[in-house]
Amino acid sequence: MSLSDRMTGRWGELYSDLLPELLPAMEAPLQHHPCPHPGHISRHGDAFRLFRDWNESGGGVCNTCGARPNGVLMLEWLLGLDRDTVVAIIRDWVDRVEPVSARVRWRTPAIEQTTQEDDLKLASWLSQLWSQAARIGDPGAETARSYLRSRGIPDWLIMRTGNLRGVPSLITGRGSQEAYPALLGRYQGSDDQPIAVHRIWCTAEGKAPIEVPKKTTPHRSDRAMRGGAIRLFEPYRGTLGVAEGIETALGASLVGNMPVWSCLSCGLLSYFVPPEGVHHLHVWGDADRAGIEAAERLAKRASHVRVTIHIPETTGMDWLDVWNKSNEITDPSA
Ligand SMILES: [Zn+2]
């Protein structure tokens, strides 16, 4: 299936995660709204609206800035990124985020009532999923721990993490007959509120042999992923690191000897909001184009704190690769 086929009917979900400035236009799609582009010259007048089929196409138009007929062009325009980077962000999102009925994700007056009911159901499902999972050091999380060890994370670090749990068996999606053990990570917003749970289905040797072994749960329509993270450790004396995936964040914690949180993806990394009390933020980016751009965008956005960017020297590597490479046993006779 092509990326545009996979995104048909899902732009609302992606926008509510990555472009919450479109929420007013999404809630009243036939009306005009102030242009969401930061470079729009005059803020007066309502010049922007989404197309009638926006959830299928992602398209919309500003009378001054011009039409953006699809979601890729919309993201390029609003994020100021090139096409390849935007496509990588969308691909990462659609691989990771499980589809939900569109109405769960944002509100229109006609479906307000249903949305509130769906939100409550979702919230109770999420809190059940989390509260029934085993703490990372408990027997129920044994496979989750083995998975992390198989990736090169030492036990002593695993045992010190927060917001990671494990389950011995979790179905691999709605209506699925398949189940595997899973590592769970609790994603919290910049306001501390729990928002979603990231799931990595696994075996003791690695990722579970299923098509999509890593998925984030849906979240309530009134909460946004943007700005948040999985808080793996407490910040230390005002210092905190951030990285994309959970495993990468743990690798960066080891290499950098500091607490590093996981933002799950480069798109979300670039929107991270450092919590109060943090004055030095270390961005542990992946060594690919999307990773480097995300790190740079975060550095610009978080300019009120000191920011240091770390990118592995070798293209294509992340900080877990770097950690594992530094531990390779070299044969002295070679
Ligand atoms: Zn405009």
Ligand 1 centroid–CA 75 distance in Å is 14
Ligand 1 centroid–CA 96 distance in Å is 31
Q: How far apart are CA 334 and CA 328, in angstroms?
A: 14
Ligand 1 centroid–CA 78 distance in Å is 10
Ligand 1 centroid–CA 69 distance in Å is 14
Domain segments of the chain as ranges: 3-96, 113-220, 230-326
Ligand 1 centroid–CA 113 distance in Å is 33
Under the banding of pLDDT at 50, 70 and 90, the label for residue 114 is: low
CB neighbours of residue 176 within 10 Å = 10
Identity of the residue numbered 138: D
Q: Which of 3.40.50.620, 3.40.50.300, 3.40.190.10, 3.40.1360.10 is the CATH number of 230-326?
A: 3.40.1360.10
Tens of pLDDT, residue by residue over 234-278, are 999 999 999 999 999 999 999 999 999 999 988 899 999 999 999
Specify the pLDDT at position 332. Answer: 61
Residue pair 45/18 in contact (Cβ under 8 Å)? The answer is no
Answer yes or no: is pLDDT of 216 > 60. Answer: yes
Ligand 1 centroid–CA 154 distance in Å is 51
Ligand 1 centroid–CA 20 distance in Å is 16
pTM score over 0.85: no
Distance of CA 140 to the CA centre of its chain: 26
Under the banding of pLDDT at 50, 70 and 90, the label for residue 109 is: very low
Ligand 1 centroid–CA 41 distance in Å is 7
Specify the pLDDT at position 117. Answer: 76
Under the banding of pLDDT at 50, 70 and 90, the label for residue 111 is: very low
Ligand 1 centroid–CA 34 distance in Å is 8
Specify the pLDDT at position 101. Answer: 54
Kindly state the percentage of the chain with pLDDT values over 90.
59
Specify the pLDDT at position 104. Answer: 46
Mean pLDDT (the chain, rounded)? 89
> For residue 68, what are the β-bridge partners?
60
> What's the average model confidence in pLDDT over 70-91?
93
Under the banding of pLDDT at 50, 70 and 90, the label for residue 327 is: confident
Answer yes or no: is pLDDT of 102 > 80. Answer: no
Residue pair 85/92 in contact (Cβ under 8 Å)? The answer is no
Ligand 1 centroid–CA 71 distance in Å is 16
Answer yes or no: is pLDDT of 41 > 70. Answer: no
Ligand 1 centroid–CA 56 distance in Å is 22
The residue with greater pLDDT, 99 or 105, is 99
Ligand 1 centroid–CA 47 distance in Å is 7
Give DSSP secondary structure letters for 47-102.
Answer: -EEE-TTHHHH--EEETTTEEE-SHHHHHHHHHT--HHHHHHHHHHHHHHBPP--H
Give DSSP secondary structure letters for 129-170.
Answer: HHHTSEETTSGGGHHHHHHHHHTT--HHHHTT-SSEEEEEEE
Ligand 1 centroid–CA 184 distance in Å is 41
Specify the pLDDT at position 226. Answer: 86
Answer yes or no: is pLDDT of 110 > 50. Answer: no
The position carrying tokens 């490479």 is 325
Q: Out of 97-101, 212-216, 225-229, which region has the weakest mean confidence (pLDDT)?
A: 97-101
Burial of 5 (0-12, 13-18, 19+ CB in 10 A): exposed
Residue pair 253/49 in contact (Cβ under 8 Å)? The answer is no
Q: How far apart are CA 235 and CA 151, in angstroms?
A: 24
Under the banding of pLDDT at 50, 70 and 90, the label for residue 224 is: confident
Ligand 1 centroid–CA 44 distance in Å is 10
Under the banding of pLDDT at 50, 70 and 90, the label for residue 106 is: very low
Ligand 1 centroid–CA 35 distance in Å is 4
Q: Out of 16-20, 192-196, 197-201, 252-256, which region has the weakest mean confidence (pLDDT)?
A: 16-20
Question: What one-character DSSP code corresponds to residue 109?
Answer: G
Tens of pLDDT, residue by residue over 178-187, are 999 999 999 9
Under the banding of pLDDT at 50, 70 and 90, the label for residue 73 is: very high
Ligand 1 centroid–CA 73 distance in Å is 14
Give the CATH fold of the 113-220 domain.
Answer: DNA primase DNAg catalytic core, N-terminal domain (3.90.980)
Query: Which residues neighbour 131 within 8 Å (Cβ) at sequence distance 6 or greater?
Result: none
Q: How far apart are CA 272 and CA 210, in angstroms?
A: 30
Output the CA torsion sign for 158, 164, 166, 170. Answer: negative
Phi, psi of 127, rounded to the nearest 5 degrees: -70, -30
